[in-house]
Amino acid sequence: MKKITYLEIEGRSKGFYTLIAILGAIILAGLGATYYMEHNGHWVTGMDNAIVWGTPHVFAVFLIVAASGALNVASIGTVFGKSMYKPLGRISSLLAIALLAGGLMVLVLDLGRPDRLIVAMTKYNFKSIFAWNIFLYTGFFAVTIVYLWMMMERRMNQYYKPAGYVAFFWRLILTTGTGSIFGFLVARPGYDEAILPPMFIIMSFAFGLAFFILIIMATYKWTERPLGDALLRRLKNLLGVFVAAVLYFVAVFHLTNLYATEHHGVEKFILAGSSIHTPLFWIGHILIGGILPLIIFYSKLGNSRSWIATGSVLVILGGLAQMYVIIIGGQAYPLEIFPGMEVVSSSFGDAVSYHKYTPSLPEFLLGVSGMAVAILIVTFGVKVLRFLPVSLADKDVDPHHDA
């Protein structure tokens, strides 16, 4: 493999400024939606005292999980010594930081009182998984920035591999913490499973790599830099493995719940219910986010770059559907406060079949603005610093190209 040269993009074209303007408009729309919700109160959203985590949380958790997976590309090169992935370490780390920043922005702005975050950062309840995550998220920023420094500063290259190992284990811990938010909520039958943390880890691999493939393909196409078929083929094959693994974990999750009688109600609600969560699960997650991408990646369609991009988009859409089912569906199924007892209906939503929730436009705009923030950070990053290799052609990155 030849020596890799990194260089900033020029970022002076009309297309570049158009992209910046579009992303800026989406972010401003998200900030306007936040102001509207904060000024009028959360009654203008689809949330209520039963559904307290709405669509913004779906986007926020998705982006946070994807951030961990985006760093996986750098880890493959550093921890597992795969030379073909090493040139991707810088842009992988930048994308991880950007996705986490976008997710946390949505999370903070959706709290209802963003200023109360100061209390959460100064007074800790270590029995709460949310308190743990404050350290995990800020630690991820610190660890990844140091990892980037070791990669980009020549005199610090000797510490590059140890920093990579720390980043590798930290992102696993971070995603475990995010999955534990739901796994530790034993009061809700839709959560309360020990398999959720490892399932979130494999979900992060799929979501983050799908984002990474789209960013790499778009960046190298728009900057007219070479991107080899061998590298792209390896990335899409790896994404296919992660998508299949997600389907496996989801199957184990639901089969385990079906075995336990106490979870039959929530399983029927998700898998064969009358709410939106059932078609979102089967059509959105299983079909669009799982089966169709696997068909694309492992058939002749996988030889086409446009189809690889389509498959990656489907993985992201399926991931959002999966997050919606997990987060919203888990709250929509009513709490069984008195097991085995007949509950009398009241104004607090007792004895309902499920809690209804309709996302509002401001919620959606806030969620999408988090994605725009992530893409904007990457766009400015590759313009001002040397994150991108000048060439990712097969002859430059594939050690077996001439074999």
3-state secondary structure 10-43: CCCCHHHHHHHHHHHHHHHHHHHHHHHHHHHCHH
The C-alpha atoms of residue 155 and residue 157 are separated, in whole angstroms, by 6
* Contact assessment for residue 98 and residue 381, using Cβ atoms and an 8 Å cutoff: yes
* Alpha-carbon distances of 80 from 75, 76, 84, 159, 219, rounded to whole Å: 7, 5, 11, 16, 26
3-state secondary structure the chain: CCCCCECCCCCCCHHHHHHHHHHHHHHHHHHHHHHHHHHHCHHHCCCCCCCCCCHHHHHHHHHHHHHHHHCHHHHHHHCCCCHHHHHHHHHHHHHHHHHHHHHHHHHHHCCCCHHHHHHHHHCCCCCCHHHHHHHHHHHHHHHHHHHHHHHHCHHHHHHHHHHHHHHHHHHHHHHHHHHHHHHCCCCCCCCCCCCHHHHHHHHHHHHHHHHHHHHHHHHHHHCCCCECHHHHHHHHHHHHHHHHHHHHHHHHHHHHHHHCHHHHHHHHHHHHCCCCHHHHHHHHHHHHHHHHHHHHHCCHHHHCHHHHHHHHHHHHHHHHHHHHHHHHHHHHCCCCCCCCCCCCCCCCCCCCCCCCCCCCHHHHHHHHHHHHHHHHHHHHHHHHCCCCECCECHHHHCCCCCC
* Alpha-carbon distances of 197 from 10, 65, 146, rounded to whole Å: 41, 11, 26
What is the structure's pLDDT at 238? Answer: 95
Domains of the chain: 14-226+233-334+355-397 (1.20.1630.10)
What is the structure's pLDDT at 22? Answer: 96
What is the structure's pLDDT at 241? Answer: 96
* Contact assessment for residue 151 and residue 90, using Cβ atoms and an 8 Å cutoff: yes
What is the structure's pLDDT at 274? Answer: 87
Phi, psi of 121 (to 5 degrees): -90, -10
The C-alpha atoms of residue 204 and residue 66 are separated, in whole angstroms, by 5
pTM of the model: 0.92
Q: Which sign does the torsion angle of CA 98, 309, 328, 358 carry?
A: positive
The C-alpha atoms of residue 55 and residue 78 are separated, in whole angstroms, by 36
Tallying the residues shown for the chain, one arrives at 403
Low-confidence ranges of the chain (pLDDT < 70): 1-2, 112, 337-353, 400-403
